[in-house]
Amino acid sequence: MRATSALVAVVFFAAIIVIIITGYNINIRFFGGEGSVHKTNLQSDLYVMSHALDAARLYLDTSLDYSVYQACYENLKRGGLNFIDLEDGEGGIAYLPDLDSEEFFSELTETVDEYFNLYSAKSYSFIGDDNVVLPRFDIFIEEQGSGLEVEAYPYSKLQITRRSDSGETATLRASWDRIKSYDIPCYTLFQKARELNTDVESDLEDALEEATQEVYDSKCESNEECTELLNDEINGDSRVSSDRTIDGYSVSSQLSAATASITQRIEDKQTGEIIFSISVSITQEISITEAEPPDDHFYPVWNGQELSFEPFSIIYINKVTKNLGP
């Protein structure tokens, strides 16, 4: 009886050991072989590598979002352009370009492509030396309703490689591509600027015409004197500098530069009359944003000084020139 009880206890104890060993995937050779945890190590490596790939996918998702927000934010600061050439503007600010939707999204695609591929240019570090090698991507953007749709396609797969202590190497690869919709007022704001600027620029032209006539009538004797008189005439003119709300949008206009140049100043020796001609130019900086943007129209962007949540604003300049004289 005691022998039977002892045998049952031994069998029960052995069963527990087998369950523990099986549960942890440990292979042990009891009779003459050496214990091995090779399978466990391999499964552990694959487990960590798989999680690293999952984390890299999440990193790419987030990176694409940030790239789109930042690209829209910065392109609108350039009047809708990816880059401002010398003929596109002055002082780092663009004239408002005449872009159709295809041209606008082509400019935006260049900026998103630049930023997103900066995110993927370096390997994604998961834990310690577990680095996921990220590919380069092609970016395509098109208009979708009031927002836009972004497509990101990789040149190759995500890849991670791990070398075990035993010298064996394991490599995992995973695909990642995305088609994502963004309901953001990027092109919408550009379109609104094109619409509102007709009246804004017309007001500036009217103000310039009146100021030019005053400068012309003064027959000022130097460019400096003419420019000073011009600035006196337009300072305080709400058609040049003002903050107003139009159709639910805040429109801020500020005088950027005003110059007057004498192109001809000749005194008639017989009559004493001065034959006078001038060229007058005014540059105005415009900023347009939603007057009361909803909470979901604030986006995480780098504003040049810090990371912040901001609404989109389009910034550009109007420049008008008028010549007056015989």
Helix or strand holding residue 41 (H, E)? helix 38-77
Confidence check: pLDDT of 15 > 90: no
Least confident stretch, 40-54, 130-144, 176-190, 192-206: 40-54
**pLDDT given at position 170:** 85
The DSSP result for 157-220, as a single string, is -EEEEEE-TTS-EEEEEE---EEEEE---HHHHHHHHHHHHHHHHHHHHHHHHHHHHHHHHHT-
**pLDDT given at position 271:** 82
Confidence check: pLDDT of 14 > 50: no
**SS3 of residue 94 by DSSP:** strand
**pLDDT given at position 33:** 39
**pLDDT given at position 41:** 60
For 1, 2, 9, 12, 281, the CA distances from 6, given in Å and listed in that order, are: 9, 6, 5, 10, 107
Domain residue ranges of the chain, discontinuous segments joined by +: 1-36, 49-182, 191-324
The DSSP secondary-structure symbol of 120 reads T
**pLDDT given at position 235:** 93
pLDDT higher at 310 or 269: 310
Least confident stretch, 81-95, 186-200, 265-279: 265-279
Confidence check: pLDDT of 2 > 70: no
pLDDT tens-digit map of 70-127: 999 999 999 999 999 999 999 999 999 999 999 999 999 999 999 999 999 999 998 7
